[in-house]
A and B are shown apart, each in its own frame.
Chain A
């Protein structure tokens, strides 16, 4: 029967993909050839430094491009990148960058200061729609240009004094300005390449594709297979190529964290972006564990809509915060992968430590709730916690719900919403209490404290305080010394936390699995990785006693 034979033939086709053993693993071949296999979390939206946002994009873009200054991978202190040195005026408002004469684009052309002027023009142009344009707002007139309040870019404080000298004038001394030079939104792009494919402000052009892209970092783009992998290889024209050890990197869009961990175990990856919570105890118990955990510049907190009863009453907000046992929460639900938080700024943010105005104190919490008119929870009108659908957020919300019930005898409902619906609810302020997280863009308390200025885009709490605004927007930027500036931050943050428009829960940590053959990835507050410094040591093997 012909049909039956056809069926057999079809099956034979599938039978040809026979099991033949997995052979040499990625880690083995990578170690042999000098290629790192890197779990990158997701497919990047793109590789245009002025268009993309997000962590997976950051890893690749910062390998392909380099800023004027880069962060030291251990200390995060700025060190020379494209600029071999810089001078800062006495009043701290004029930065003069001297470009390294050896700094080259990947097509061999010399980098010039005017490339930066052009690139910052592009980044700030309102038509480009760069979500990170605000990174350059410390520069004179940058904000006005970006908001179309002025149209002459010459008025913006960035000038090419000559081919190798770039002068940047700031509105006020900005202690974190050099850090911003390592953020991809301030990177230079190659003007001719961008213009070959379209207008300066076009977002859609294919200039970042393989074969078109011209970059200036330690690596160049070799292959970009959508949702499969991105391969970069060591650049031939990079000024410091002698110190680049890797021959290249494979980035995988490892969206599924469980699969990513299995890939690591099967030695298909050198490095994972995250580690599933339930696997952490196993990894921790190992000798020479590949599990690396470090404090991360981010805070997980509950936003409070201060216009909605019953949380419009500061006594209720304080009662809720006092009744929360953060130590237990981080130890049990989060398996010691987080640090209890009592304020918005993470501890030791470049030497700044936030105030701790309260602690776990159920007695005091009950007294505050009684004072607010709900003794032992009587007459409590109910409260809803909104979070975006994710198992980790649900577990925390359930724990918080139970703690508040136990300590305050109040009923809490929890409600999950799909991500975009949740974002919409938060921005429209249609919530009572909502989960929130904030990851710093640069290591400075300002990046956390300016969230809560009146009507700020990320405030969403209804918190408004003129004195707070004045400190953050006017007084702190003009502070003469670091001590004075930090004292002002401390005052503002104490004021804000006293009003409690948020309930801080924990400070994030970064969690990775790193193969023992990899060296040069250092834990730091920004989870910042410079692939230039990574080396591979094939003789170091993975201890594979994991179940």
Chain B
């Protein structure tokens, strides 16, 4: 198992290096620069700005300088927010986005697993069609539609919940978490239904039932562990996706997370910010994929036996 993890970590290094290099040169090849604005910038001002950000150096020197700083954990100063470093901006946005992602994922797991198991117990009946139909709608409905709908119903008409902010007013974390989590809940519902259906047709389940165990015990004690393996495998990429993909929800609900900075950085040609967030998020994605692979392997007795055998 340790060799497996080490091998995967080694594989990640060139992946991240390629991401850095490609992003570095791609952002600089995009038309328009960080200091372009609607009001013309005087040439002498532009020169002063470029010198302060080392943009007056040849491209390869900028690249080497960036890698040198990066190796020391320094992602550089933001172009858009003078006086703030990219590290600082990531540091302020990440806890919020991570918290949002965690709530969204918890919501998705709770609703998704419940609906999936429920549907798998009586396949091809109304008990299956209704939750799966809802799941399909959940997958299809974009957050920029669901968010405003929830806001209108629960925030404006019923006036139960605040409609924007994060930690400012009681209950203001509920609507964004549901909005962000619902598409994942739907996906998890479908995954757990498929996983459960496969497991419920296995011989050992039939044995458990033949032994006279009540159905709920069959499900919770025997079927669930195997049935949820596809869900576990999905959780790593899902969490990484939640971190990187929260832009729309953060914008709708005025949440001070990472997503807004990430997308705005591209529009602003904030080179260091684009690079910083890309490097950071790609590292996270690699990391979460690794974790979910490890957990899936641990949950699957056949794979676990392979590792013990030294694969």
Quick check: B48 and A128 within 8 Å, CB to CB? Answer: yes
10 closest residue pairs by CB, A with B: A420-B32, A457-B40, A11-B110, A14-B106, A228-B256, A227-B256, A129-B48, A424-B32, A423-B36, A424-B31
Asked if A45 CB lies within 8 Å of chain B CBs, one says: yes
Nearest residue in A to B222 (C-beta to C-beta)?
A1
User: Contacts A22-B170, A133-B45, A259-B252 known; A418 to B161 CB distance under 8 Å?
Assistant: no
Best-surrounded residue of A48, A129, A265 (most CB of chain B within 10 A) = A129
What is the distance, in angstroms, from A226's C-beta to the closest C-beta of chain B? 4
Q: Which residues of A contact B304 (CB under 8 A)?
A: none
Measured in the bound complex, the distance between the Cα atoms of B42 and A128 in whole Å is 13
Quick check: B37 and A423 within 8 Å, CB to CB? Answer: yes
B82-115 interface with A by 8 A CB criterion: 82-84, 89, 92-93, 103, 106-107, 109-110, 113
What is the distance, in angstroms, from A483's C-beta to the closest C-beta of chain B? 30
Q: Which of A13, A48, A133, A228 contacts B82 (CB 8 A)?
A: A48
What is the distance, in angstroms, from A501's C-beta to the closest C-beta of chain B? 16
B37-62 interface with A by 8 A CB criterion: 37-42, 44-49, 52
Asked if B81 CB lies within 8 Å of chain A CBs, one says: yes
Quick check: A11 and B82 within 8 Å, CB to CB? Answer: no
Q: Which residues of A contact B161 (CB under 8 A)?
A: 19, 21-22
Residues of B within 8 A of A (CB): 30-33, 36-42, 44-49, 52, 77, 80-84, 89, 92-93, 103, 106-107, 109-110, 113, 148, 151-152, 154-156, 159-166, 168-171, 173-174, 177, 220-221, 224-225, 228, 251-254, 256-257, 260-261, 267-269, 299
Q: Which of A3, A23, A43, A427 contacts B169 (CB 8 A)?
A: A23
Mask of A246-284 contacts with B, CB within 8 angstroms, 1/0: 000000111110110011011010000000000000000
Measured in the bound complex, the distance between the Cα atoms of B165 and A268 in whole Å is 9
What is the distance, in angstroms, from A423's C-beta to the closest C-beta of chain B? 4
Quick check: B44 and A229 within 8 Å, CB to CB? Answer: no
Measured in the bound complex, the distance between the Cα atoms of B41 and A48 in whole Å is 18
Quick check: A131 and B254 within 8 Å, CB to CB? Answer: no
Measured in the bound complex, the distance between the Cα atoms of B14 and A228 in whole Å is 36
Asked if A310 CB lies within 8 Å of chain B CBs, one says: no
Mask of A216-253 contacts with B, CB within 8 angstroms, 1/0: 00000000011111000000000000000000000011
Instruction: Show 18 residue pairs from A and B whose CB-CB distance is below 8 angstroms, ordered by the A residue.
Output: A3-B224, A7-B110, A10-B110, A11-B106, A17-B171, A21-B161, A51-B82, A127-B48, A129-B52, A146-B42, A146-B44, A225-B256, A227-B260, A228-B256, A256-B251, A259-B253, A262-B152, A262-B163
Residues of A within 8 A of B (CB): 1, 3-4, 7, 10-11, 13-15, 17-23, 26, 43, 45-46, 48, 51-53, 126-131, 133-134, 146-148, 203-206, 208-209, 225-229, 252-256, 258-259, 262-263, 265-266, 268, 418-425, 427, 436-437, 456-458
Measured in the bound complex, the distance between the Cα atoms of B165 and A254 in whole Å is 10
- Given contact pairs A1-B220, A262-B148, A424-B31, enumerate 7 new A-B contacts (beta carbons under 8 Å): A3-B224, A26-B169, A131-B41, A420-B36, A420-B269, A421-B32, A437-B38
Q: Which of B48, B80, B254 contacts A253 (CB 8 A)?
A: B254
Measured in the bound complex, the distance between the Cα atoms of B42 and A456 in whole Å is 10
Q: Which residues of B contact A436 (CB under 8 A)?
A: 38
Best-surrounded residue of A22, A43, A227, A254 (most CB of chain B within 10 A) = A227
Quick check: B220 and A259 within 8 Å, CB to CB? Answer: no
Measured in the bound complex, the distance between the Cα atoms of B83 and A206 in whole Å is 6
Quick check: A265 and B156 within 8 Å, CB to CB? Answer: yes
Quick check: B156 and A262 within 8 Å, CB to CB? Answer: yes
Measured in the bound complex, the distance between the Cα atoms of B228 and A290 in whole Å is 53
User: Contacts A45-B82, A252-B254 known; A262 to B48 CB distance under 8 Å?
Assistant: no
What is the distance, in angstroms, from A207's C-beta to the closest C-beta of chain B? 8
Quick check: B83 and A205 within 8 Å, CB to CB? Answer: yes
Q: Which of A53, A420, A458 contacts B40 (CB 8 A)?
A: A458
User: Contacts A3-B224, A20-B170 known; A419 to B267 CB distance under 8 Å?
Assistant: yes
Q: Which of A1, A20, A205, A422 contacts B171 (CB 8 A)?
A: A20
What is the distance, in angstroms, from B38's C-beta to the closest C-beta of chain A? 7
Quick check: A268 and B162 within 8 Å, CB to CB? Answer: yes
User: Contacts A126-B44, A130-B45 known; A268 to B83 CB distance under 8 Å?
Assistant: no
Quick check: A256 and B37 within 8 Å, CB to CB? Answer: no
Q: Which residues of B contact A252 (CB under 8 A)?
A: 254
Q: Which residues of B contact A53 (CB under 8 A)?
A: 37, 39
Measured in the bound complex, the distance between the Cα atoms of B225 and A46 in whole Å is 52
Quick check: A254 and B254 within 8 Å, CB to CB? Answer: yes
Q: Which of B109, B224, B251 contacts A11 (CB 8 A)?
A: B109
Quick check: A423 and B32 within 8 Å, CB to CB? Answer: yes
What is the distance, in angstroms, from A362's C-beta to the closest C-beta of chain B? 32
Quick check: B81 and A46 within 8 Å, CB to CB? Answer: yes
Quick check: A3 and B254 within 8 Å, CB to CB? Answer: no
Quick check: B260 and A14 within 8 Å, CB to CB? Answer: no
Quick check: B103 and A14 within 8 Å, CB to CB? Answer: yes
What is the distance, in angstroms, from A223's C-beta to the closest C-beta of chain B? 12
Q: Which residues of A contact B221 (CB under 8 A)?
A: 1
Measured in the bound complex, the distance between the Cα atoms of B156 and A425 in whole Å is 43
Q: Which of B38, B45, B106, B170 contacts A423 (CB 8 A)?
A: B38
User: Contacts A19-B161, A255-B260, A263-B163 known; A14 to B156 CB distance under 8 Å?
Assistant: no
Q: Which residues of A contact B32 (CB under 8 A)?
A: 418-424
Q: Which residues of A contact B44 (CB under 8 A)?
A: 126, 146-148
Quick check: B45 and A262 within 8 Å, CB to CB? Answer: no
What is the distance, in angstroms, from B231's C-beta to the closest C-beta of chain A? 9
What is the distance, in angstroms, from B49's C-beta to the closest C-beta of chain A? 4
Best-surrounded residue of A22, A258, A427 (most CB of chain B within 10 A) = A22
Measured in the bound complex, the distance between the Cα atoms of B297 and A197 in whole Å is 52
Measured in the bound complex, the distance between the Cα atoms of B162 and A51 in whole Å is 35
What is the distance, in angstroms, from A309's C-beta to the closest C-beta of chain B? 24
